[in-house]
Structure 1
Amino acid sequence: MTLRTFGDMYCWCCHLEDAMYSCKKCARSYHRRCVFEMPNYPEPLFNPESMDPSSMDSCPECVAADETVLYSMKNVLPPQLNYILHYVIGKLKSDDFMFENYYDIPKPKAHTRSRAVIVKFMDILTLEKNVKHEVYKSLEGFFGDAKWIRHNVAVLSGRKSDEMTNVEKLIHLIASEMLTIDLCHECYVRKQGENSIENLFITACSRPHLLGWAKTDGITYWPVKIMGIDLGKKIAIVHTFGEHKQLELPLRDCLIYSHDSPSSNRRLQGQLHGWKKACKEMRRHMELVEEKHGKVVLAEEKVRIRCTLSEAVQRMFPDWKLKIMNATALKYADEEELERELEVRDILQQASSADDESSSTDED
């Protein structure tokens, strides 16, 4: 084992020893073979003038944490982001509290193996404090910190231990919440509140959702919001009107919304009542979207998705424009655009105020 005077001796990716590629911004270290093989992460940043080829200016986790690359989160400022994240912490502290062992982990004592090999202590309580103090600038930053819990367990208990199996469930839950937030953080916040599920689906968000038809059962086309698409894997994540389900479907089973349904009444059979209810919800949602974002351009019948989600949304809602918020300055063409973009912050602030009032009432 190579002795180290800085950084982590264990690789962030595989959790094995002799990780010699260290990050200058954090305590993470990597094997050379691992640092360039992190799927869905940006490449590390190296200083070309550095005499030490194993020293990274910024590792993939730090590059990701500095500025979110997630499509839907680019206009969310840190105060609102951390307010959203407090709901994630709430999920981790739910009634059954299956992750209680990771909430308030005892800190390693001096002169122990734990103290020698753990370079960054982390537990759910620490994450909660960071959220309270608005530490995180991106979902990736929060997720990167959460993964220190897994890394520390892997180092202390082993990669194939029972403890590792349990902590993987924690990381999987957080990853699932991150995905849901990325699909639409406004829908995520509303879902935590007291709004009925119907109101959740028909409310128009600041970033409109692509509307479509989807074969939810492989046969019948159902009205849906297309929340995310992966052109590489050829899959789509949809939220169904009426049934209010989240489904992952083959992209070939999804069509851009048209006035006429691709399904005939004959194919609907016993689902006709539910289908009509779903279509009614869709029409009401479209009315609210038109009030908020302008005209909705429907497709011709049976038009498949052959572009990115943002391009498809822009075509369906040509009057809608989203400008990225800057934490220090907001520059918009006119006040109307500014008001439109600040609505998402109003939603979060109202929810936060409601929580504060509820807490005050409980204290009284």
Structure 2
Amino acid sequence: MPVRRSTDPKPLQYVWDAIRSANSQKQMADFQRIIKYLQRNDYCTTAQAELYLKQSLEDGLVLNLNKTTVKGAKVGLQVESYKIPNYELPLLLDDGKDWYCIDCHLAGDVIECRVCFRVYHMECANKKQNIYIRNGTVGSKEVSIDLKGINDVIDITNDNDAPVNNNKHNKVDKQSDNETSATNYISLLMREENQTEYDSSLCSICNMCKLEPRSNIDKEELNYLLSFVHTRIKAWLPASITDSMSMEPKPEWMNDVEINWRVKQLFRTPMNMIVIENKIKQKQYEYLVAFKADVLTIQHNVAIYHGIESQEYGASEYMLEDCRHDLVELSNCLDCYKHSNEKINNKWFCLPCRVPHKLVWAKQKGYPYWPAKVLKETEDTCDVRFFGGKYERSILQKIYIKPITMKVNDVQAKKGSAFNKAVGELLLHQKMLSNPNDLSLLTKVDRKKKSLNSSETALPIVKVMQLDTGKKQNVTIDLSKSDDIFEQSAQALEDSFIAQASVTHKRKRSQSPTNKDLLLKQIR
């Protein structure tokens, strides 16, 4: 296993800081000054400080030179001092591979990934393999998502400069090549046969790409959905990952030129949220794992530049946790994720999905049975989201799940205004499921209402059947005079269902005061 670099990234930067600090004070960066600086700022022993300086020299990232002192007690004597290489000098070992392990972000004996630019320690690979096996990822046979060619029930997608690199490398062509190769390795992996075991010849990120269930989502829709994930996670870190989250001022020598040079020495693949945003705008992502790989690359670079004990790395862990959560939600149901983020109106939860969800009565501890959608189902549990209120979500044992066909009295639901509203939304959802063509028309009109308002074209009249006290009435909506067609239509339907629920409730109570309400005869 080759040693691509001996010095860990943080000690290396402390050595650079020591030299710059001495130079800024117009002092010679000799051995003693560097050792004292390292002991004071890195809290290391003398032996450790000497080792860091020795390793930096071996890596060619610090240069040794002899100088003659011109003042002080040692005037005229040859003194060994150190300097940082010129900015224009080419990188050592510039073969397209990283210098630091993708898992622990440190230097040492590393193995090169056979597909991508990353490297890893054998010990780190063994730990990752054990994690995969322990978590049951290896050999899992989950159903992949395939939504190409499926006709949408509703049309809620929009009809609607090169990637910016805050780190500003001098070698633009080289950087572009790195970005291209970083994109191509995902495609190479996806062309290989899907594996079921951890491959020790691949880094942890390439193994992730091979082991996770493959998705086959339309490229344009995928990038549109990833824009929501990006918006959610980008606030965790500064736009440029070299910026510090602390309020301490930067040393005077830490200017843009110095930072850009350090980035070139430390980062094999520059990556930040601006680069990801531009890739989304240009619709470059073809797979969910490609987006996740870029987020992991950001975390890797944060660990290299700031260290794993830093506030910035802690924020990157939260960023990654949010990213994983959103990608799981996106994988579970594209439409649910889209509806919850778009929120095109306050009835977004009633919108049906291309693959309809199972509807149930679900009971959370301390609450009565309530209408809900099943988002994900396992052998023992159901992940449900409730109608009404704030659309709370819960993972419940199946003993607390009843089919929606059961009568209200049989599930002993506690009736009231909140319950009636939830049932109204349930019935609205069922109405939309049974009339996808009308729903598609309404949502298309809603998304294009601005252009329609400025047009002189005559718009159709929509008639919505409203049920109230056993009589059928038509609620007429003139599209040319409405600011929000979908919301008015949906609200009319929901209000009629709620009114029907409350009227039925009152009538049954007056007919049989000792008997409990029989709410919503339509639900059986």
TM-score (normalizing by structure 2): 0.46
Counterpart for residue 339 of structure 1: none
The residue identity in structure 2 corresponding to 1:147 is L
Asked if 1:187 is matched to 2:336, the reply is: yes
Q: Mapping of 1:163-182 within 5 angstroms?
A: 163-182=312-331
- With 22-31 and 97-106 compared, the bigger mean Cα shift is at 97-106
Query: Compared with structure 1, are the counterparts of its residues 191 and 252 closer, same or farther at alpha carbon in structure 2 (3 Å cutoff)?
Result: closer
Alpha-carbon RMSD: 4.0
CA displacement at 1:127 relative to structure 2: 0.3
Cα separation, partners in 2 of 1:265 and 1:255, compared to 1, 3 Å:
closer
> Does 2:403 match 1:257?
yes
Q: In the alignment, which residue of structure 2 is the partner of 1:330?
A: none
Q: Does 1:88 align with 2:229?
A: yes
Q: Take 1:85 and 1:278, find their aligned partners in 2: how far apart are those partners?
A: 30
Question: Distance between the aligned counterparts of 1:88 and 1:356, measured in 2?
Answer: 27
**1:272–1:146 Cα change, 3 Å:** same
Q: Give the superposition deviation at 1:165.
A: 1.2
Within 5 Å, give how 1:228-267 maps onto structure 2. Answer: 228-231=376-379, 234-252=380-398, 254-261=400-407
What residue number does 1:10 align with?
A: 100
Structure 2 match to 1:283: 427
> For the residues of structure 2 that align with 1:132 and 1:103, how far apart are their CA atoms?
21
Cα distance between partner residues in 2 of 1:164 and 1:128: 21
Native 8 Å contact 2:383 2:394 kept in 1: yes
How far residue 243 of structure 1 moved from its aligned partner, in angstroms, is 2.1
Q: Is the 8 A contact 2:364 2:400 kept in 1?
A: no
The 1:281–1:157 alpha-carbon spacing in structure 2 relative to 1, beyond 3 Å, is: same
Deviation at 1:36, TM superposition (A): 1.6
TM-score, normalised via structure 1 length: 0.63
Q: CA separation in 2, counterparts of 1:8 and 1:254?
A: 52
How far apart are the structure 2 equivalents of 1:222 and 1:23? 51
Q: Distance in 1 between matches of 2:257 and 2:326?
A: 27
CA separation of 1:193/1:35 partners in 2, compared to 1, >3 Å: closer, same or farther? closer
Q: CA shift at 1:189, angstroms? A: 2.4
Letter matched to residue 295 of structure 2: A
- In structure 1, stretches of 5+ residues that fail to align are 48-53, 294-342, 358-364
CA apart distance, 1:156: 2.4
Distance 1:180 1:90, change over 3 A: same
Aligned with residue 361 of structure 2, among 198, 205, 213? 213
Instruction: Report the Cα offset of residue 185 of structure 1.
Output: 1.9
Bigger shift: 130-139 or 166-175?
166-175
Contact 1:219 1:267 (8 Å CA) reproduced: no
Are 2:239 and 2:272, in contact at CA under 8 Å, matched by a contact in 1?
Answer: no
Structure 1 residue 35 displacement after superposition = 4.1
Query: What is the number of residues matched between the two proteins?
Result: 282
- Maintained 8 Å contact 1:230/1:236: yes
- Preserved CA contact (<8 Å) 1:11 1:17: yes
The residue aligned with 1:156 is 305
Partner of 2:269: 120
* Aligned twin of 2:130: 37
User: Equivalent pairs: percent with the same residue?
Assistant: 22
1:42–1:63 Cα contact (<8 Å) kept: no
C-alpha spacing 1:138/1:64, structure 2 compared with 1 (3 Å): farther
Measured in 1, the distance between the counterparts of 2:449 and 2:397 equals 39
Match of 1:20 in 2: 110
- Structure 2 residues without counterparts, runs of 5 or longer: 6-92, 140-188, 193-198, 244-255, 452-524
Aligned-partner SS, 2:337: helix
1:201 alignment partner, one of 344, 349, 359: 349
SS of the aligned residue for 1:238 comes to strand
Larger Rg: 2
Report the residue type matching 1:140 in the other structure. Answer: V
User: Following TM superposition, by how much is the alpha carbon of 1:264 offset from its aligned partner in structure 2, in angstroms?
Assistant: 6.1
Higher relative contact order, chain-length normalized (CA < 8 Å, sep 6+):
1
